[in-house]
């Protein structure tokens, strides 16, 4: 397979995601309409040359090198497609803030996979990209919806294969995501999890999950309210999120149908009907403010398209 010419460029849009939705620890995740935009280009140099330039809405310019998840993902594409690595530059316009529980790492993995694949004319199938993405991140509930969009339930079947079920989400249901200035890494949030849980907690989560999936499918508010409960990770993680329970309380008092930690936190997600979104958002921000934590709380919809790439104009000339 021939390498792309130097200067070949693609754009990749990757949505944010909320993982562990309610009782769906490590399996249920949804894509939301807040996205990172990556511009990826083959540049002069050998396969070890990689530079990631991040431009965030806060105006800071961060840089990353070959240790970045984006580059590790691109390498997995080159290995699987049996092409020689080549030098890359990636710029990301960052709307999904890092370490907030909105799948920012998943956007880097997915952009690395989709972008590297697109630059070599897409030899790898979407199924292969999904398999690589789950393998790189280690859990499926961010990377799967980030790649294919929508509400995704991903389970490792008894056959050891990953199986993905795309679930329905009634469009009347929206998500307010309160994003604090606090950061929390997934590894830290995983460290506080117990190795075993009581069987009664596991049974409760299975019941809640069934109610929630039916509620999201039909838009029935009582099913969503009864289903948005978790006993597998939240009881251990709330203590890592300063003011988190007060923010949840404020959302529920303002009419949210249910409220949960988004991913591993610290963002807090509330499900609601659109007309209550503004009130819930203001209440969540105010609750965090009284704990001395700055935040913002956008009202988001389900993003159903997943990641998309577009060809860019070729910059420069020689091969």
CA distance 267 to 71: 27
CA distance 169 to 213: 8
- Determine the Cα angle at 85 with ends 79 and 90, to 5°: 110
CB of 19 to ligand HSE, least distance (A): 4
Nearer to ligand HSE, 19 or 111 (CB): 19
CB of 301 to ligand HSE, least distance (A): 20
CB of 233 to ligand HSE, least distance (A): 6
Nearer to ligand HSE, 88 or 147 (CB): 147
For residues 15 and 307, the answer to whether their CB atoms sit within 8 Å is yes
CA distance 214 to 202: 19
Nearer to ligand HSE, 8 or 234 (CB): 234
Tokens of 231: 């006993």
Nearer to ligand HSE, 53 or 167 (CB): 167
Q: What are phi and psi of 252, to 5 degrees?
A: -65, -40
Instruction: Give which of 136, 118, 119, 146 is closest to 35, Cα–Cα.
Output: 146
CB of 290 to ligand HSE, least distance (A): 27
CB of 142 to ligand HSE, least distance (A): 5
Nearer to ligand HSE, 35 or 139 (CB): 139
> Do the strands 61-64 and 50-56 form a parallel or antiparallel pair, or are they unpaired?
antiparallel
Nearer to ligand HSE, 26 or 55 (CB): 26
CB of 276 to ligand HSE, least distance (A): 27
Nearer to ligand HSE, 83 or 184 (CB): 184
Residues 6+ away with beta carbon under 8 Å from 18:
29, 30, 32, 101, 102, 103, 175, 177, 262, 263, 267, 269
Nearer to ligand HSE, 40 or 110 (CB): 110
Instruction: Give which of 206, 266, 203, 214 is closest to 24, Cα–Cα.
Output: 206
* Residue whose C-beta lies closest to ligand HSE: 263
CB of 155 to ligand HSE, least distance (A): 13
For residues 145 and 30, the answer to whether their CB atoms sit within 8 Å is yes
- Determine the Cα angle at 1 with ends 316 and 80, to 5°: 110
Radius of gyration of the chain (CA): 20
Binding residues for ligand HSE (CB under 6 A): 19-20, 26, 139, 141-142, 186, 189-190, 233, 263-264
CB of 277 to ligand HSE, least distance (A): 24
């Amino acid at each position: 397979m021939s390498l792309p010419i130097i200067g070949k460029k693609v754009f990749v849009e990757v949505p944010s995601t909320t993982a562990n939705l309610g009782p769906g620890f490590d399996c249920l995740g949804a894509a939301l309409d807040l996205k990172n935009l990556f511009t990826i280009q083959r540049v002069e140099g050998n396969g070890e040359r990689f530079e990631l330039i991040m431009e965030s809405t806060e105006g800071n310019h961060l840089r990353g090198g070959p240790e970045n998840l984006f580059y590790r993902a691109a390498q997995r594409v080159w290995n699987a497609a049996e092409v020689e690595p080549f030098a890359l530059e990636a710029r990301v316009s960052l709307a999904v803030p890092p370490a907030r529980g909105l799948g920012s790492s998943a956007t880097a993995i997915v952009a690395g996979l989709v972008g590297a694949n697109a630059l070599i004319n897409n030899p790898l199938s979407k199924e292969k990209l999904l398999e690589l993405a789950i393998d790189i991140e280690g859990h499926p509930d961010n990377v799967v919806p980030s790649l294919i969009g929508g509400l995704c339930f991903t389970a490792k079947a008894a056959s050891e294969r990953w199986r993905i079920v795309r679930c329905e989400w009634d469009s009347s249901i929206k998500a307010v995501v309160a994003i604090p200035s606090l950061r929390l890494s997934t590894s830290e949030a995983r460290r506080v999890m117990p190795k075993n849980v009581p069987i009664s907690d596991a049974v409760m989560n299975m019941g809640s999950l069934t109610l929630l999936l039916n509620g999201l499918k039909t838009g029935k508010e009582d099913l969503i309210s009864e289903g948005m409960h978790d006993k597998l990770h939240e009881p251990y993680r709330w203590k890592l999120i300063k003011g988190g329970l007060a923010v949840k309380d404020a959302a529920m008092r303002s009419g949210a149908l249910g409220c949960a930690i988004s991913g591993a936190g610290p963002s807090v997600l509330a499900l609601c009907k659109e007309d209550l979104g503004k009130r819930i958002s203001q209440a969540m921000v105010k609750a965090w403010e009284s704990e001395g934590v700055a935040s913002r709380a956008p009202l988001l919809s389900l993003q159903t398209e997943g990641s998309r790439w577009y060809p860019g104009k070729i910059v420069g000339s020689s091969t």
